[in-house]
Amino acid sequence: MAAILQPHLPQKPHSIYSYASLARPPHLSRLETATHKTGYVEPLSIDVDDAEGGFFPGFLHLPPDFFSSPPLQDPDSGVRLPASSRGTLPLHHHRTAAILLSGAGGGVTGPSSIYLSLACKLATLGRGIPCLRLDYRYPAKAEACVRDVDAAKAYLHDMYGLDRFVLVGWSMGAAVALAAAADDDRVVGCATLASQPLLKEAHIHALPPRPLLVMHGTADNTVVVGQSQHLWHLYGDGDRMLQVFEEDNHSLSRNAEEAEELLCEFTARCAGVPVSSDERRKVVEAELVEPAERHELMERGGDLRAPERED
């Protein structure tokens, strides 16, 4: 039977500066050329107000039109806006953000570096979806990671007016995502990749009727595929999808492109963002990270730090 990753001693928080070269995928120009759009990427360090304190780094990908000239009068309050505020407020149709969570080693690129390109694609859709790739303060401590996600949701709401969230998690990050969704109805959907066991089974029971996407490889030597199948069954009837990739490993490296496309379409559906056939071709199917680059980018992004593995 495949092993379950065991917690190691907590690592020290990493600085956003250590990830400076990973703000964008290597071939983002392909997406920009096809769509004639360029989004924003903001490096962040978000404080967490709990007993352990500290901050976690991340990259926030924002749609090209996220900061656009608002009307002279606020449509909600009717209050006339000062001229100085024009060009600094987000459009009102941007309400949903995706938060992408890595595994037991932390990191900002995700399995097979899927997150690196997924974040850009989501932000570039016609009604772009803001997307946060975050590292953890202490990757080995699952409960602290859940508090990191809660802090991320609060930050995105307070600073950007985002009040709906789709959570995507790989390995330990899958259990963290479901725990962070359980008591928060602002989370409108969850996707898991090669999920480790839940922190509590009650977390998955609290998710319906919100959508769930579960993915796993049958050759995963880190977490058995049965774990995700069990998770899918625990969810019960409703809006759920299970995708099993034959002979694929823990990071889904053989089917990374298909997994990325599924995540893009699932997140858009949860956010209520339609994807046209033209966008599917130009955005969803764009290759922003080539197969030969995925492992090296994972290493640079911290996603293969112990105890996480790719096999």
Cβ-contact 72, 52 below 8 angstroms? no
Q: What is the mean pLDDT of the chain?
A: 89
Residue at 19 is within a domain: no
For residues 130-159, average pLDDT: 95
> For residue 12, what pLDDT band results from cuts at 50, 70 and 90?
low
39-65 residue pLDDT tens: 999 999 999 999 888 999 999 999 998
259 vs 280: CA distance, rounded Å = 14
The answer to whether the predicted template modeling score (pTM) of the entire model surpasses 0.75 is: yes
Q: Specify the number of domains making up the chain.
A: 1
Residue at 6 is within a domain: no
pLDDT at 75 over 70: no
Residue at 98 is within a domain: yes
Q: Backbone phi, then psi, for 112, in 5-degree steps?
A: 55, 30
Residue at 10 is within a domain: no
183-222 residue pLDDT tens: 999 999 999 999 999 999 999 999 999 999 999 999 999 9
Residue at 51 is within a domain: yes
> For residue 5, what pLDDT band results from cuts at 50, 70 and 90?
low
Residue at 2 is within a domain: no
Residue at 104 is within a domain: yes
The amino acid sitting at 198 is L
87-128 residue pLDDT tens: 444 454 679 999 999 999 999 999 999 999 999 999 999 889
What is the CATH classification number for the domain harbouring 281?
3.40.50.1820
Give the residue numbers spanning the domain of 242: 27-65+89-300
> For residue 14, what pLDDT band results from cuts at 50, 70 and 90?
confident
Residue at 279 is within a domain: yes
Cβ-contact 275, 284 below 8 angstroms? yes
